[in-house]
Amino acid sequence: MADFDTLKERLEQHLARHGLKHTRQREAILRVFAGTREHLSLDELLRRVQREMPGVGYATVYRTMKLFTAAGVAHERRFGDGQTRYEPVAVDDEHHDHLICVRCGRIYEFDDALIERRQVEIARERGMRIVSHRHDIWVICCGGEE
């Protein structure tokens, strides 16, 4: 679970720097969002936020997650199921990639120094500079049963 206070501070800085405002909705969404390690879709996030603040609209959550992404508080992920998911940025901002179980839908994280290093070499060999990457591995994690 990401550290709420750290994310909040990061968000406040972004708001201040861009002349944006602190609102009850943004606070509530951040609290819900920071309180999970799952990769939540907007619908799931909306549902959870509405539990502690009914009346919040989809568009607000949508725009807030774009804001969080710009503020370096959230990562946007698309795993190809047609849903955009959001994940709190780790406090140390360490990168990681994903293992997705095609049976149960669970999402695991991995980070491998060897692969990271090799990527940089591959780009360098071609005279390219890496901007970002994603490395998703679809697996069966549970031996066949849910």
Partner DNA sequence: GTCCGTGCAAATAGTTTGCAGGACC
Partner DNA sequence: GGTCCTGCAAACTATTTGCACGGAC
- 86 to 105: interface string for a copy of itself, x by CB under 8 A: -------------x-xx---
> Which of DNA, a copy of itself, none lies near 22, with the C-beta cut-off 5 to 8 A by kind?
DNA
CA–CA dist 14, 2 (Å, integer)? 18
3-state SS class at 108: strand
Structure-token pair, residue 122 = 């591959």
State the binding string over 72-91 for DNA (x if CB under 7 A, else -).
Answer: ----------xxx-------
Amino acid at 86: Y
Rank residues 10 and 86 by Cβ distance to a copy of itself and give the closer one. Answer: 86
Q: Which of 47, 63, 96, 118 binds DNA (CB under 7 A)?
A: 63
Is position 129 an interface residue for a copy of itself (rule: CB under 8 A)?
yes
Task: Give whichever of 16 and 120 is closer to a copy of itself, judged by the CB atom.
Answer: 120
132 binds a copy of itself, rule: CB under 8 A: yes
Round to the nearest angstrom and report the end-to-end CA distance of the chain: 24
Token pair listed for 1: 């679970």
The count of other CB atoms within 10 Å of the CB of residue 55 is 7
Binding flag, residue 114, a copy of itself (CB under 8 A): yes
- Would you state the torsion angle of the CA atoms of residues 58, 80, 3, 91, taken in this order, to the nearest 10 degrees? -130
Binding residue for DNA, selected from 7, 10, 11, 26, defined by CB under 7 A = 26
